[in-house]
Structure formats: C-alpha cells, structure tokens
Structure 1
C-alpha cells in the first residue's frame, strides 16, 4: 500500500494490482465505462481509494497533483491476479478461474481462448458472454463432483445454457473479465517459452495454442484428447513446453 501525507493528514491507498479489492476493481470498471477512460477519472479513483477529499486537493501544487496521479500508473498494465474471484449471477454463486487461471482445465481454456479471439475479431456480445461462461463455473453443490476451487465440472452440453445465464452480467464486468483474462495471458510467453517460440507468435507465425493442440494429438503423454480437456491447464501447458524443449535439444544434437 502507498501512504500519502498532506499537511497533518495521512492517506493510504493501493500501490498495485495486489492491493486492489473486488470493490476497487468494480469502481475501476465503472470509471472505464462511465468516463470512457478519461484520465481525469483517475482523480475520482484517487478520491475513492485514498479518501482524499476536495479540501485537500486545493492544498496541492500542480506538481504534487501530477505525482499523486502517477501512483495509479499500474492501471496502464493488466492484472494477472484474478480480481473478481466470485460473482453472484441469479441465485447461484459462480467461481472464477483463480489467480493466473490456476483453476482452469485445458478444455475450459480452449473455449475461453476461442471466444476471446472471436470477440477481438468481430466484437459480438455473445462471444464475450461465452468467454464469461468458460471462465466462471457455478459453485458445485455438496452432492456434485467439483474441480479446483469447488467449481462445478465443465460440461459442453450445458455450455449454451451457461452462456445465456452469464449474459445478464453488466457489460463493464464482462469487459473487466476480458481484461483480466488477457492479463493472465500476458505472462504465458515467460512461463512457457518453448511453446511460444515454436509457434513463432509475434512475427506472423501460427497460434501457439494450435501448435500445442497439434503436439497434444501426436503424443500419448497426456492421455486421450478427452482426458486432456479435463486436465489442469498448467499441467498440460507445462508438459507441452517440456516436450518442445526436448524436441529442440534433440534437433540441436542431430544438427551437430
């Protein structure tokens, strides 16, 4: 947390995404939509998050005000930590994918990634709703089998109904989920460097996920494709990255 001293008064507020609560995040999303991300809106956030009233703003020089606004520069990045762990939708509690997508299965991730790509391409609301439905699962009842985070297991047969249910979530929340998802994706090239290197992503190459899926179908290391879909996302990606690394090392030896 950051601490700001104005006269004899001390104010405390978030220093980065790690300090942002779900309430803070909802306020941020309202600012992004309501003020069209106008930089002046950061004054509003400083007032909300630090509790700095108008009477204190008037005591500050222009340089001090600029310095204060810079405390929110972390908002120019996207969060890897999952900012809205739970959502109440209708009468059910929905559980998010966990920090860094830790709760996701590979199958859930494939549907989420496909929906995200379509939304970025055509901007259709139904694609954003499908992203939501792929990332958030209803909390399992005590008699239901559950995955990580007590999430009800993903069932593609229920997916259309889940998309319909989550479509009522306010658009600013859906946009925030998209931003959060992409923030988690931002660290993947560092986490799985061999998988991304082989895809050639960033220089006109194919999708890294397509490369991973192709490799997964060729190897028995992850079982059948049905088993692959039910496996934890990071177990699958870590395994595929390790296989890519072994292939690179073998190729290097053969070329000597």
Structure 2
C-alpha cells in the first residue's frame, strides 16, 4: 500500500486527508474489486472509484481539481495490467465459497467445467453463462465439485449480484495469468495479430496429448489440477523431442 496525503479546500479552509491506496492486486479488498468491476462496466463515476480505492469520502474527492484526480488515478495504473495473481479476493459470494489459492484442491474435471463456461460467457456475455461459470468454480462450504450438482448450484449463483460475479471474473483472469506463467507450454497466449482468442486453446493441447487414451479420460478428470497440468507439460516436452 502507498501512503498518500490528499489536500483539499472546504469553505476556503485548506485541509488534508491521509490515506493509502493499493499498488498491486494482492492489496485490493473485496469492496475495491467490486468498485473496479463497476468502473469496467461504466456503472460508476471516477469520483466514486477514487473514493473507494483511496478510502476517503466522495465529497473529499469532489473538492480536488482535475490534476489532483489525475495524479491519484496514476497511482492505480496496475488496474490496466493483468499480472499473475493466484488468490481469490472475494472469498464468499452468497452461500458459495471461492477455490483455495492457486486452485489447490481443484480437480482437472472441475477446471474443464470452469474454463468451458468462462469461454462461453466471454463470447455470449449472457447472465446465464456467467451463472454457470461461477457455479463451476465457487461451491457451497465444505463441498466438492460434482457435475450432477452443477445445475442446483447455478440457481444459487443466480442470486448473487451480477456486479459481484463480474468482479470474480476479473479475478479469474488474473488467476489465468498465474497459470499461464506456471505452465507456459499449455496456456499459450495468442501471437500479435492472431485472430485466435486463445482462451480455450489449451484444451486442444490437452486433446492432442491424451485424446487417444479414451479408456482413462475419466481418471484424468478426477486428478488434482496441478498434477494433470504437470503431466501434460511433460507430455508436450516429450513429444517435442520426437
């Protein structure tokens, strides 16, 4: 966190407000992440965003001139840079709970559901696809993912405010950046000028590596995510030597 001193005037009296602003994603609070989501969607003003991010009242921000606001906004430059982050900022969304940091404990099968619905939502931008994405990732407390329970959890996800779900989707994009750095051979980013979105391109990599092993595909789904990703990485390296 960076300490800031905000100088403003009220009725010709000069005043100061001391506060702090996050400098990176792991310093962002759930309330701030929701404010960021509202800003991305155009549902909040610059003054409101600065108020939440700086932890000061909105009327204080309103007293600032354009240059002061620009200076504060520059402190939040990291918001446009999706750097790797492995944790979920919003740990609880209604009756549902976030995955563990680094997606520890998540099975490969669950991750396939998460990725499929995330890609579907990116393309459709429909609320029902957003609900399915959230329901594949956030689960009731102390429960494990089962595909047969997904429709019921989707109904629960539908009761969560849309802005909270959009905030979670921003967070998931950061988690995907973490995965792309941890497993660059699997989560390959599209080349500049490429028309391929690349969001689900890794699935084709998986199919090319283990797609012929039909007998054991269900077993793959039950394996821990990171065990499976390390396995696929090893297979890619092995195939590249042939």
**How would you bin the TM-score normalised by the shorter chain?**
0.7 to 0.9
What is the alpha-carbon distance in structure 1 between the residues aligned to residue 32 and residue 80 of structure 2? 15
The question of whether the paired residues in 1 share the 8 Å contact of 2:107 and 2:223 is answered with yes
The question of whether the paired residues in 1 share the 8 Å contact of 2:50 and 2:73 is answered with yes
Moved over 6 A (4+): none
Alignment match, 1:87:
93
SS at match of 2:236: helix
Return the TM-score normalized by structure 2.
0.79
Alpha-carbon RMSD: 2.8
Alignment match, 1:12:
20
Alignment match, 1:101:
103
Give the unaligned 5+ runs of structure 2: 8-15
Establish whether residue 194 from structure 1 lines up as the match of residue 199 from structure 2: no
Per-residue CA deviations over 1:103-150 (Å, capped at 9, x if unaligned) read: 42111111111112222222332211110110011112xxxxxxxxxx
Alignment match, 1:230:
222
What is the alpha-carbon distance in structure 1 between the residues aligned to residue 98 and residue 136 of structure 2? 9
The question of whether the paired residues in 1 share the 8 Å contact of 2:37 and 2:170 is answered with no
What is the alpha-carbon distance in structure 2 between the residues aligned to residue 201 and residue 61 of structure 1? 41
Tell me: CA distance 1:103–1:44, structure 2 relative to 1, closer, same or farther (3 Å). Answer: farther
The one of 122, 130, 133 equivalent to 2:132 is 130
* C-alpha deviation, 1:13, in angstroms: 2.3
Tell me: CA distance 1:247–1:214, structure 2 relative to 1, closer, same or farther (3 Å). Answer: closer
Tell me: CA distance 1:111–1:56, structure 2 relative to 1, closer, same or farther (3 Å). Answer: closer
* C-alpha deviation, 1:50, in angstroms: 2.3
What is the alpha-carbon distance in structure 1 between the residues aligned to residue 225 and residue 89 of structure 2? 19
The question of whether the paired residues in 1 share the 8 Å contact of 2:110 and 2:136 is answered with yes
SS at match of 1:194: coil
SS at match of 1:12: strand
Alignment match, 1:47:
51
What is the alpha-carbon distance in structure 1 between the residues aligned to residue 76 and residue 116 of structure 2? 32
Tell me: CA distance 1:246–1:30, structure 2 relative to 1, closer, same or farther (3 Å). Answer: same
Return the TM-score normalized by structure 1.
0.75
What is the alpha-carbon distance in structure 2 between the residues aligned to residue 100 and residue 131 of structure 1? 18
Per-residue CA deviations over 1:141-192 (Å, capped at 9, x if unaligned) read: xxxxxxxxxxx12111111111122111111112222222222223433322
Count the aligned residue pairs. Answer: 226
SS at match of 1:225: helix
The question of whether the paired residues in 2 share the 8 Å contact of 1:201 and 1:208 is answered with no
Alignment match, 2:29:
21
What is the alpha-carbon distance in structure 1 between the residues aligned to residue 179 and residue 218 of structure 2? 24
What is the alpha-carbon distance in structure 2 between the residues aligned to residue 48 and residue 193 of structure 1? 35
* C-alpha deviation, 1:17, in angstroms: 1.1
SS at match of 2:233: helix
* C-alpha deviation, 1:31, in angstroms: 4.3
Per-residue CA deviations over 1:192-248 (Å, capped at 9, x if unaligned) read: 222345xx854448822122134234469xx93222212221221122112211222
